[in-house]
Amino acid sequence: MFHPMSKKAFSLAMVATLSLGVLAGCGSAGTQKETQPGGGAAPANDQLSGTVTASGSTALQPLVQQAAKEFMEKHPNVQIQVSGGGSGTGLKNVAEGTSDIGNSDVKAGDEFKDKNLKEHIVAIAPFALIVNKDVNVDNLTKQQAADILTGKITNWKEVGGKDQKIVVVTRPDSSGSRKLVKQIVLDGKDITKDAVVQESSGAMVTAVSTTAGAIGYVDTAYVKDGVKALKFDGVEYSKENIKNGKYKLYGEERMYTKGEPKGAVKAFLDYILSDEFQNKRVEELKFLPASLLKQ
């Protein structure tokens, strides 16, 4: 008699736990909804409260996360959640209202024209073409890079390297890095279908560093041992070369809001654009200040 009873009690406990979980889930979702629109009516200075959600570009993510951490220390009543997913996801989320902020490496395309998106450029992110360190090529012209990425050139010897097959590594269509390379290097043409696809900047670097003859692209914060950053049109990546316009491969990192930002969202964006954050943190995180090109 005892045994089946305890079993029953156990199942009951499980059901109770599960339903509690479900209820709790609903509850928190409900409260989030209430506080979400711009953190409610935010009164004076340190009375900011509410939840801010940001999603999108994995390239920009470390910067937003750092800013969120600092901002939350200053305003303990504000909760900021930062997630990745790629620039395409970020734009989609902000357009549909699932996120307050959409992070993107590229300008929102025509499909977002009637979505009332407001753009905030928060940093410059230098990109680089990277190759496996066994590739003995140091420089590619724009034309050569385009021919390689579109699959017209398939051997390194055609661009001055040794006789070795080229493996193009790329990111999925939702990647802002991919769109950026498409715009700047390929003039809108598409990357070859034969390319190996990796799902994040980190996986891209791993794949390029382990695949012989591989070429890929990442923002320079991800460049590390095992891969070599190429010169583009004979120019090496540096802050100076971007400022004087010689190095063309960079993206303007954008944070989109639906309409004018309000309350906590606005305060958060203001913080990211403040001199305090721009001058101190942005370069520490291997980005460049948004104002670089305007000076």
Partner 1 sequence: MRWLFAGSAVLVSAVIFSIMLFVGIQGMQTFQGVSPLTFFFSTDWAPADGRFGAFPFLFSTFALTLLAIALSVPVAVSGAVFMAKIAPKWMREILRPATDLFVGIPSVVYGLIGLTVLVPYLAKLTGETGYGLLPAAVILAIMILPTILSISEDAIRSLPRSLEEASLALGATRWQTIWRVLLPAARPGILTGVILGMGRAIGETMAVFMVIGNAPQMPKSLLDSTTVLTTAIVKDMPNTFYGTTWNHALYLMALLLLLISMFLILVIRVVARRRELK
Could you list the residues that contact partner 1 (CB under 8 A)?
11-12, 15, 85-86, 88-89, 92, 111, 165, 167, 172-174, 193-199, 203, 206-207, 210-212
Give strand ranges (E) for 110-243.
Answer: 117-132, 139-140, 167-170, 196-197, 214-219, 227-229, 231-232
CB of 56 to partner 1, least distance (A): 10
Q: 281 vs 70, 123, 274, 288, CA distance in Å?
A: 10, 11, 11, 10
With respect to partner 1, which residue has the nearer C-beta, 186 or 196? Answer: 196
With respect to partner 1, which residue has the nearer C-beta, 116 or 238? Answer: 116
CB of 212 to partner 1, least distance (A): 6
Contacts of residue 128, Cβ cutoff 8 Å, sequence gap at least 6: 217, 218, 219, 220, 223, 229, 230, 232, 237, 249
Helices (H), 221-274: 239-243, 263-273
CB of 196 to partner 1, least distance (A): 5
With respect to partner 1, which residue has the nearer C-beta, 222 or 268? Answer: 222
Return d(Cα 272, Cα 76) in angstroms, integer. Answer: 17
Please name which of 234, 240, 239 lies closest in space to residue 145, comparing C-alpha atoms: 234
CB of 261 to partner 1, least distance (A): 24
Q: 215 vs 133, 174, 175, CA distance in Å?
A: 10, 20, 17
With respect to partner 1, which residue has the nearer C-beta, 39 or 88? Answer: 88
Q: Which two structure tokens, joined as six digits, stand for 203?
A: 């996986």
With respect to partner 1, which residue has the nearer C-beta, 68 or 167? Answer: 167
Residue 234, Cβ neighbours under 10 Å: how many?
10
With respect to partner 1, which residue has the nearer C-beta, 207 or 269? Answer: 207
CB of 35 to partner 1, least distance (A): 25
CB of 154 to partner 1, least distance (A): 11
Please name which of 78, 80, 82, 79 lies closest in space to residue 46, comparing C-alpha atoms: 78
Q: Which two structure tokens, joined as six digits, stand for 156?
A: 């390194």
